[in-house]
Chains A and B, each alone.
Chain A
Amino acid sequence: DIQMTQSPSSLSASVGDRVTITCRSSQPIKNYLNWYRQRPGKVPELLIYTISNLQIGVPSTFSGSGSGTDFTLTISSLQPEDFATYYCQQSYSSRITFGQGTRLDI
Chain B
Amino acid sequence: EMQLVQSGGGLVQPGGSLRLSCEASGLTFSTYEMNWVRQAPGKGLEWISYISSSGDNIHYVDSVKGRFTISRDNAKNSLFLQMNSLRVEDTAVYYCVRQYYGLLTGYYFDKWGPGTLVTVSS
Is residue B32 contacting chain A, with contact meaning CB distance below 8 A? no
Q: CB distance A91 to B61 under 8 Å?
A: no
* Option from B46, B59, B110 in Cβ contact (under 8 Å) with A55: B110
- Chain A interface extent, by class: 20 to 34
Q: CB distance A95 to B108 under 8 Å?
A: no
Nearest residue (CB) in A for B58 is A94
Nearest residue (CB) in A for B57 is A94
A residues in contact with B59, CB < 8 Å = 94-95
* Option from B44, B62, B107 in Cβ contact (under 8 Å) with A98: B44
Q: CB distance A98 to B110 under 8 Å?
A: no
Give the number of chain B interface residues (Cβ < 8 Å).
Answer: 22
A residues in contact with B46, CB < 8 Å = 98
Q: List 20 A-B contacts (CB under 8 A).
A: A1-B61, A31-B106, A36-B45, A38-B45, A43-B114, A44-B37, A44-B95, A44-B112, A46-B109, A49-B106, A49-B110, A50-B105, A87-B45, A89-B47, A89-B108, A91-B106, A94-B59, A96-B50, A98-B44, A100-B44
Chain B residues engaging chain A, CB cutoff 8 angstroms: 35, 37, 44-47, 50, 59, 61-62, 95, 104-110, 112-115
Chain A residues engaging chain B, CB cutoff 8 angstroms: 1, 31-32, 34, 36, 38, 43-46, 49-50, 53, 55, 85, 87, 89, 91, 94-101
